[in-house]
Amino acid sequence: MHMANELLSLPIAGGGLVVAGGALGLICRKAKQVITSGKLALMGILGAFVFAAQMVNFRLPAMPGTSGHIVGAVLLAIILGPHAAAIVMASVVIVQCLIFQDGGLLALGCNIINMALIPTYAGYYLYRIVAAKPFSNFRTYVGVMLACLIGIEIGAVLVPVQAALSGVLVIPFSTFLITMISVHFLVGTVEGIVTVTVLVYIQQVRPDIVAGNLQGKVRLSRRTALATFAVFTIIIGAGLSLLASGMPDGLEWSYAERPDQPNFEPIISNSDSRIAAVDKLQSKYSLMPEYSVRNNDEDEKHQASAGWTSFAGVFGSITTMAVIWLTAWILRRRNSGAIVTR
């Protein structure tokens, strides 16, 4: 669901960056009060896990020619709490944009809002309402499914809203909106299943690492539990990413490209030369555009991309973990300094 630059006008893109930046500033002020040394380690490893998981696009049932990937915002919010989760998700989106050209540079603010902030907070508080005490496995996992579905759908709805405000749509707003809702209903359902699966695993081995209401028996040490997520991250980033669907994701299928409909024409028109210039700049300076190596020869690039996907998965996961750890460490130090000053 990463938006490209062409979906936005400069004023809307700039507004998105301002709103996202301001929101993250407020979130950081709140998060620094809850980031402990234990949570710092958990944030980094789970951020790497989500980065790797987002590389695995899966074919969507009943929607030929398109694919989707999990977002991971609700999973992080339930485990870490919403403030820490929002920082982790924003870090994932930023690394994807700046290093891998996944999502437009101008669209970064809107992507942070749509993928990192809205699903995290909307999903978390819906989950808390449904899974209210006393504890019940049924309520907990129904809450997880609903939180994933609603969180994804709200983020998906914002994309056509932002595109419409930008004035780039060449079809009725309602048509784009209905398509996005339909596609991302399937994505949200799959995300809910994946999130429930991960939480069931945590419930069986180390339920106390979850900030939300989750009960179970401790079977692994905290260090071992975190190590298993590190192993899962490597397996997903280096291995399962090679099996990812090459079909366009739900957003791309909704507005730009439909392999199942050869005569489909893009539903947007953005002739702003400044947008094209930013695209060119981002492509030139991204370290691994589209999770591969830069190569002018298309045949060689195709051969190289399969070999470099695993590297991109592991490298991106490590980079994301480092960014999160550094951010969380700085926030924790600032909070410690503030306490001493008082």
- pLDDT score at 212: 67
The count of domains in the chain is: 1
The Cα 14–Cα 128 span in angstroms is 33
Lowest mean pLDDT among 148-152, 206-210, 252-256, 335-339: 335-339
Alpha carbon 198 to chain centroid, angstroms: 16
> Average pLDDT for residues 65-70, to the nearest whole number?
95
Tokens found for residue 89: 């998700």
pLDDT tens for 270-325 read 999 999 999 999 988 999 998 988 765 544 444 456 678 899 999 999 999 999 99
Position 104, amino acid: G
Cα-to-chain-centroid distance, residue 11? 24
Domain that holds residue 11: 5-341
Give the per-residue pLDDT at 32: 87
Non-local CB neighbours of 275 within 8 Å, separated by 6+ positions: 5, 6, 8, 10, 106
Q: What is the pLDDT of residue 306?
A: 62
Phi, psi dihedral angles at 265 (to 5 degrees): -115, 140
Report the chain's mean pLDDT, rounded to a whole number.
Answer: 92
For residue 337, what pLDDT band results from cuts at 50, 70 and 90?
Answer: low
Q: Among residues 252, 240, 227, which one has the least CA distance to residue 309? A: 240
- How far is it, in rounded angstroms, from Cα 16 to Cα 246? 29
| 15-18: Cβ within 8 A, 24+ apart | 15/109, 16/107, 16/108, 16/109, 16/110, 16/112, 16/113, 16/162, 17/106, 17/108, 17/109, 18/109
50, 42 in Cβ contact below 8 A? no
Name the residue with tokens 């784009």.
Answer: 176
Task: Taking residues 221-228, report their average pLDDT.
Answer: 96
**Looking at per-residue confidence, does 304 or 11 come out higher?**
11
Beta-carbon contacts of 74 under 8 Å, excluding residues fewer than 6 positions away, are 119, 120, 123, 124, 127, 144, 147, 148, 151, 191, 195
3-state secondary structure 22-37: HHHHHHHHHHCCCCCH
Are 219 and 205 in contact, with CB atoms under 8 Å apart?
A: yes
CATH code of the domain in which 84 resides = 1.10.1760.20
112, amino acid identity: I
> Which segments of 206-341 does DSSP mark as H helices, in order?
222-234, 250-255, 273-285, 298-341
Q: What is the pLDDT of residues 168-207, one digit of tens each?
A: 999 999 999 999 999 999 999 999 999 999 999 999 999 9
Beta bridge partners of 58: 68
State the Cα–Cα distance between residues 204 and 296, nearest whole angstrom: 49
Ramachandran region, residue 169 (left: φ > 0; alpha: ψ -120 to 50; beta: rest): beta
